[in-house]
Structure 1
Amino acid sequence: MSQELNDLIVGILMVGGALMSLAAAIGLIRFPDLMSRMHAASKPQVLGLLLFLMAMAVQFESWALLPVLAVCWLFMILTAPVSAHMIGRAGYRTKHLRPELLTIDELDDVVGRAQELLRQAKTGTTAAAVKEDPLVDDDPGAHPAAGSLDDDAVPAAPAETPEARPGVVSGAEAQTHQGARHPGHSPEG
């Protein structure tokens, strides 16, 4: 490939990468809320980096450089969406969003239910009242029925009882020993 064509391709790729980075910067300044800014920071930045890395590959014309550039872009494409997602979750939880800009708020019911459970825990509602709630998975694990959140309602086992087996603690005794099992509460900590 001639040097002039090489320089032209590198120039186009670098200008494209710079424009994508500029678009991300403008989006960070101009967009109205955290969710929009988060989108502007992650999407064009990944494409801009790809264009810069392609410009480097064309400029240096070395096959040995390609794996390094590919790993660099791979880490960016893996970490940018994850960090944007975590920033979005933190922003939602701390109310750094504008609800009027959301078309659909799928987390509203989940957050409302979690806040209600927190309120019940602070007011001293018994563990039994929380345990009876079908929307709470108080014991994560295998669920016997499809779509069932409560895996404590297992079909009756044969006539063998925990008292018949030495050293086995019944469910009520285990809760007494471990404390109430609310979502977010770890018996170990």
Structure 2
Amino acid sequence: MSQQGGGHYYVPAPSTWPITGSIALLFMGFGAALSVNRIPLGYGLLATGFAILVYMLFGWFSTVARESESGKFNKQVDKSFRWGMSWFIFTEVMFFGAFFGALYYMRMHSVPDLADLNNKILWPDFTAEWPTAGPGITEKFMPMGPWGLPAFNTLLLLTSGVTVTWAHWALKLNKRGQLKLGLFLTFALG
């Protein structure tokens, strides 16, 4: 990052990009709700929302890139960006920790509790086995096999990790063509 920003912390001017993103999400939300109910207007609203979102992303990211390349950011701004990303990663870790904690609780506590003697009055045929379709459901739960769609999704995830690493190294080596190609492939794989 450039050090021309001086000793002050750069605070950008008020921006219209957050409200633009909110409008995009509004269009996408209504469009998705109407599309699920097969109302033709929903597809147009959904497409409009995606178009506004893409416009907002390109506009906002280019604004931040222009500010950075013009030397307005200093070490303190760089540190703020790094802390922001660190907090984002922390919240993702906490989200998945809570998700897997809930899965553990359901598997080890909830399912056996549903099959104990006190609940046999409500669901006499329920057995505590995992995976379960739940009490009151007579059909057997069939988990998805590891090959097919799960293997394909895993391959996509790992490949996108390779392409984003390639883009990162291209950025460090100042190879903009490879950077753009690596980011495009990562986005396409996503």
**TM-score normalised by the chain length of structure 2:** 0.29
**TM-score normalised by the chain length of structure 1:** 0.29
Structure with a larger share of its residues in helix: 2
- Kindly name which structure, 1 or 2, has the bigger radius of gyration based on alpha carbons: 1
